Amino acid sequence: MLNFIAWRIAQFPLILAIIYLITFAFVWIAPGSPFGNQERQLDETAKLALERRFHADKWYKFLGNYPKQIILHGDFGPSMQYAEWTVNDILKTSLPVSITLGLFALVLGTLIGVAVGTLAAVHRDGIFDWISLAIVLVGISLPSFIFAALLLMIFAGWLEWFPVGGWGSFSDIVLPGVALALAPMAYIARLSRVAMIDVLSSDFVRTARAKGVSRSVVIWKHCLRNAFLPVLSYLGPAAATTLTGSFVIERVFSIPGLGQHFVNSIQNRDRTLILGATMVYSFLLLVFNLLVDIGYALVDPRIDVTAKGS
């Protein structure tokens, strides 16, 4: 297992390098300049001075200098749009907010999705199963920003149960967390239902029941552990969905996370902020996927994550 983890970590630099090159290509060929727009026009001398400061006068200078700056000094450089802030400052203040929101939504979606899927499988073809199917279809089909707007209108507007635009208390994270958790919850519920139906027909379930083990213990202790494996494999992509999906949710609920800065950086062609945020998020997703693979071996030791058994 340690060799497997070391090998996966050793692959991180190559994967991040490929992501950097692809992101750099899209950022550089995109029309527009970070040093001037319709509201702020710079003369050529000032523009050239800024380009040289950021090593952006030639594409190959920026391509080579920026990774060296990140690797040697851990510095993502100054923002091209926020003159008073560096990219490190923006990441330090806003990234924890986005990660907190994303993890809260992921945990919430996993707990509710597994519970709903398990109950739907236990009461297969019953009224609860059909209700859960309808909820899942809504969760998969309805865009998160529309669901967020509905939550905002009902619970923050009409009922005034939750605040909007703040950050720092648990009530501030409830509505955006629920909106962000809807899509992963729907997928996890269907995965749990299908997996649980398959596990419930296994021989060990009938043997446990014949030995007098209660139905609830068989379902929630023995069956759920096996049925959770497909859900565990989905948690890696789900982490990507929640972390990147939080950008839109943050805009809707006016949350001071990285989402608003990332959207603004794309609109303003802020290349350093785009690349810095992309590289940090890519690293986090690689870590999440590694943790999922490790979790596989912990949940079911029979699984050979190193694939040596094949």
Q: How far apart are CA 231 and CA 199, in angstroms?
A: 14
Q: What is the pLDDT of residues 101-153, one digit of tens each?
A: 989 999 999 999 999 998 898 888 888 889 888 888 888 888 888 888 888 88
Q: Do 42 and 53 contact (CB within 8 A), yes or no?
A: no
Q: Is 84 helix (H, G, I), strand (E, B) or coil?
A: coil
**What is the CATH architecture assignment of 94-269?**
Orthogonal Bundle (1.10)
Q: What is the pLDDT of residues 5-36, one digit of tens each?
A: 888 899 999 999 999 899 988 888 877 666 65
Q: How far apart are CA 204 and CA 237, in angstroms?
A: 31
Cα separations (Å) of 30 from 196, 208, 269? 47, 62, 8
Which stretches of the chain are DSSP H helices?
Answer: 2-29, 44-53, 59-73, 87-122, 127-141, 144-151, 170-200, 203-210, 215-217, 224-253, 258-268, 271-299
Tell which wins on pLDDT, 283 or 293: 283
Question: What is the value of pTM for the model shown?
Answer: 0.79
Q: How far apart are CA 55 and CA 63, in angstroms?
A: 9
Rounded CA Rg of the chain:
24
